[in-house]
Amino acid sequence: MTRIVYVNGAYKRYAEAAVHVEDRGFQFADAIYEVIEILDGRLVDATRHLARLDRSLRELGIPRPMSDVALLQVIDQVIRRNRVRDGVVYIQVTRGAGPRDFALPPAGTLPTLVILARAQRKGWSAAQAKTGIAVKTIPDNRWARCDIKTVMLLPAVLAKDEAHRSGAKEAWFVDPNGNVTEGASSNAWIVTSDGTLVTHPLDHHVLPGVTRATVMDVAKAEGLKIEERRFHKDEAIRAKEAFITSATNIVMPVVQIDGAPVGDGRPGPLARQLRLRFHHVAEFSAG
């Protein structure tokens, strides 16, 4: 249970934690966020997450609310005050509050910063990884800067809802050529018949996933071949294996795409191997 939330300089009780009704995050989705895994009371890959947070802010010209050192101290406080050992930290920064206006607010407007921590049952994703998940492909109708981690998540919310209604856990966005870009809240991967890992290249169509980057480190350490290239949804259905990566799922096998089984319809060995090695390679904060 989340008990304490950091909002703009104060640690508030969950029920009382709030931002202004004219916050630009609320009115314009003029905001960015990060989700970081907490494992055994320590942050996983914090350096990469904070670097991406910084990049998102710079791309949108939102001022930094505080230094990384200060941010890590507040995150640590939020984790402690909520007594979270395993779960996630959610960080959101908006361009601040003011009378609704499309024009950017005057210089000096303070960004809004919210940080909350939430416990999750340890091992839930390991249990899910034993059976894997189904995904449903959905046309990618998001904007052309998906590399920025904004809170403009309505297309992802609706795609996931459509996926859920068909019995799938995740939606895979496909571009007009039928190529898979990424998941609604994850990066998408396949394994070819010769054991090569394939994922969409980093460009404006996908989020540069932190888990994606660390999985690449794992794959290199394990001597696996990686290709960053587009892949068609039909190639994915015919692939040997498929999986998704994200801070919450780590490496999650995909066993079904649009109702068709991937491989023999069971989690594949490479996804399992990458998942097992992941936390040996990821960076852990001092805890």
**Of 97 and 113, which has the nearer Cβ to ligand PDD?**
113
Q: Does 185 bind ligand PDD (CB under 6 A)?
A: yes
Beta strands at 170-174 and 179-183: parallel, antiparallel or unpaired: antiparallel
Helix/strand/coil for 268: coil
Nearest to 243 by CA among 215, 221, 220, 222: 215
Closest separation between CB of residue 181 and ligand PDD, Å? 9
Which helix (H) or strand (E) segment is 49 a member of? helix 46-60
Closest separation between CB of residue 151 and ligand PDD, Å? 9
169 labelled catalytic: no
Angle between helices 269-281 and 210-221 (to 10 degrees): 100
Site map 38..77 versus ligand PDD, x via CB under 6 A: ----------------------------------------
Q: Does 112 bind ligand PDD (CB under 6 A)?
A: no
Structure tokens at 256: 């079904």
Task: Return left, alpha or beta for 229; rule: phi > 0 is left, psi -120 to 50 is alpha, else beta.
Answer: beta
What gap in Å lies between CA 283 and CA 214, rounded to an integer? Answer: 9
Contact range with ligand PDD by CB under 6 A, out of 12-20, 99-107, 181-189, 230-238: 181-189
**Of 97 and 155, which has the nearer Cβ to ligand PDD?**
155
What gap in Å lies between CA 250 and CA 129, rounded to an integer? Answer: 10
Beta strands at 241-246 and 187-191: parallel, antiparallel or unpaired: antiparallel
**Of 164 and 266, which has the nearer Cβ to ligand PDD?**
164
Q: In the set 56, 150, 211, 256, which binds ligand PDD (CB under 6 A)? A: 211
Closest separation between CB of residue 264 and ligand PDD, Å? 27
From 12, 122, 130, 149, the catalytic residue: 149
Number of residues that bind ligand PDD (CB under 6 A): 14
Which 8-state DSSP code applies to residue 99? S
**Catalytic positions:** 149
Residues near ligand PDD, by CB under 6 A: 35, 182, 185-187, 207, 209-212, 245-248
